[in-house]
Amino acid sequence: MNLSVNSPALYGPVQDDLRLVDDALDRISRVENFPALTDMLAIVLGATGKRLRPAIALLGGTFGEYQAERLVPLAASIELLHTATLVHDDVIDRADTRRGRATANSIWDNGPTVMLGDYMFAHAAELVATTGDIRVIRLFAATLMKLASGEINQDLSAFDSRETLKNYFSRIGGKTASLFAAAGEGGAIVSGAPEDQIEAMREYSYNLGMAFQIVDDILDFSGDEAQMGKPVGSDLMQGTLTLPSLLLIERSPVNNPVQTLFERRDDGDLQTAITAVRESSILDESHDIARGFRDRASDALAGLPPTAARDTLADLLQYVVTRSS
Amino acid sequence: MNLSVNSPALYGPVQDDLRLVDDALDRISRVENFPALTDMLAIVLGATGKRLRPAIALLGGTFGEYQAERLVPLAASIELLHTATLVHDDVIDRADTRRGRATANSIWDNGPTVMLGDYMFAHAAELVATTGDIRVIRLFAATLMKLASGEINQDLSAFDSRETLKNYFSRIGGKTASLFAAAGEGGAIVSGAPEDQIEAMREYSYNLGMAFQIVDDILDFSGDEAQMGKPVGSDLMQGTLTLPSLLLIERSPVNNPVQTLFERRDDGDLQTAITAVRESSILDESHDIARGFRDRASDALAGLPPTAARDTLADLLQYVVTRSS
């Protein structure tokens, strides 16, 4: 199968309702009597991503009573929360572009951009509250705590070459997989799915999120600059150690290129480190680890009834580990 | 009466339960397995403020069935939300000190500090969700949207001497009074107070918040630097026009010192502007306007039953318009 995010089949039974999520995000970006905020929101929400998280929320909602009027706000809320974290990330990283488009902080000052992210968090909270489900609201809040503490952890360990693989997995669990988990679990909860299926969706989504982030970290080394919309090696340049660079450190304890890069922060050192990763078996090994998480996600699917939605969840796993951008 | 925040009588019947709010905030600042985050939270939450907003939340909770186990988390949530906005404000303003203490952003980089604020928002959302009251949760989210859009409005109008009084009142309504309103209204809702009393608490708290912010803006011109913990005229220096500087612009349409300051951004111009405000009747007039909001708040109290809590709310109004720091 050769699916892509542009393939109409990728999101299966929830493909159409994803358009309702887009409509909801579009409505959010129109703020009465505040044209400046409307402009800011249109720019950050208009950079349409893969909508993978909202799709998982909707798919999770098929295992109980599927109510679009409650699931669509939840899915939009998850996407809004995700986009808000990107807005704050870009302020922190002083990023000029994301997916090839200008970032909010490169257009406005940091001040309005930080507040734009806050506004989006608040709006996401408002949307999730419209589900009327306290359990999902608490899941949402707990997830935002994990996202933020995962990012703090990442920032505080920047340029620290003693960073460990264990810390890496815990960090990406917090900053990426927890939001995927909240999407799948949240959709299942809102639909009133049985507890064991809620747990299966959580387990599936968390492990899919882990695989997703590892592939992201691989693509930062192997990806095509034009397709990714950001320079190769940008994580390393910002002092963030990911799976490939941690494996590189592990196997060259003396004089490894990452340590040299962190000490001198020179572009030539960056190229040396990128080449060292690419010319080794590190990216293959990283893919193996991503596939390990994919397999755990796949195992979790066994706990769900055999529906079209479950087939779509299985297809998404394949997409996540084979994507090239 | 000469009450101060240190006076045990100031918060009347809820004085003792405010200690439970402090305990809750203290528990929040201890994060398992994350000493760095614990340190950050201890610093920003340890700078004990007036606890005015949590006190109003608890007082609002006396008009129905007062349940400390639901009101204390709400009050702590309001204070946490308030402190989170201060953390983000300080990043934006690049402030080194607040109330005479080092700010988070002056100790850590902007990155962890922005995320610290996000973490605090999330924790505030988690706390408010423990009330189990969807209406209060939605009020909380709507309030955060107002706070953030009020700040965006302030940032985008910085150094714009065409700023109007009307925009000023709408801005401080969003960035300050809305949180006071949410505190009073939220407490009343959680306690199940009658609708007309919920509305009276909202009206009281909103107008008290307006008076509070205007007095804050007056103190930025008239206050004592050591007592305030920040330099006199710091709003103007950051390009923020407040009631006194807007009145100054209004009465000297040609060659007014504020316009000159905004064009040259020179410290001498700042002193000229401060002196022009202090030597005119502007601060008295600003106090009159603050007292106008106090009177509206006082009128709203007529809609509440005559209890010890209502007397305390009346005392707080006096404190807010007469405070000197």
In this prediction the ipTM stands at: 0.87
Look up residue B102 and give its DSSP letter.
E
- Asked if A148 and B34 come within 8 Å (Cβ–Cβ), the reply is no
Mutation pick from B40, B114, B153, B178 vs chain A, by most beta carbons of A within 10 Å, is B114
CB–CB of A59/A307 below 8 Å? Answer: no
Q: Which of A176, A247, A183 is nearest to A218 (CA)?
A: A247
CB–CB of A166/A109 below 8 Å? Answer: no
User: Which domains can be identified in chain A, with CATH numbers?
Assistant: 12-322 (1.10.600.10)
Nearest to B148 among A109, A115, A137 (CB): A115
Chain B contacts of A156, Cβ < 8 Å?
36, 108, 112
Q: Would you give per-residue pLDDT tens digits along chain A (325 residues)?
A: 444 555 557 899 999 999 999 999 999 988 888 888 898 898 888 766 789 999 999 999 999 999 999 999 999 999 999 999 989 988 877 777 776 677 777 777 778 889 999 999 999 999 999 999 999 999 999 999 999 988 888 778 777 777 789 889 999 999 899 999 999 999 999 999 999 999 999 999 999 999 999 999 999 999 877 777 777 888 888 888 999 999 998 888 777 888 888 888 888 888 888 999 999 999 999 999 999 999 999 999 999 999 999 999 999 999 999 988 7
For the stretch B16-45, pLDDT in tens is 999 999 999 999 988 888 888 898 898 888
* Residue B14, amino acid: V
Count of CB atoms within 10 A of residue B85's CB?
A: 23
Nearest to B91 among A114, A142, A144 (CB): A114
CA angle B162, B170, A121 (to 5 degrees): 110
* Residue A56, amino acid: I
| Residues 27-46 (A) with a CB less than 8 A from some CB of B | 31, 34, 36-37, 40
For the stretch B168-203, pLDDT in tens is 999 999 989 999 999 999 999 999 999 999 999 999
At residue A52, the pLDDT reads 95
- Asked if A125 and B112 come within 8 Å (Cβ–Cβ), the reply is no
- pTM over the 0.80 mark: yes
- Tell me if chain A has a CB within 8 Å of the CB of B92: yes
Mutation pick from B43, B113, B133, B145 vs chain A, by most beta carbons of A within 10 Å, is B145
- Asked if A125 and B109 come within 8 Å (Cβ–Cβ), the reply is no
Mutation pick from A31, A88, A115, A143 vs chain B, by most beta carbons of B within 10 Å, is A115
Helices (H), chain A: 15-28, 35-46, 52-60, 68-93, 104-107, 110-129, 134-156, 165-172, 178-190, 195-222, 225-228, 234-237, 243-251, 257-264, 267-278, 282-301, 308-322
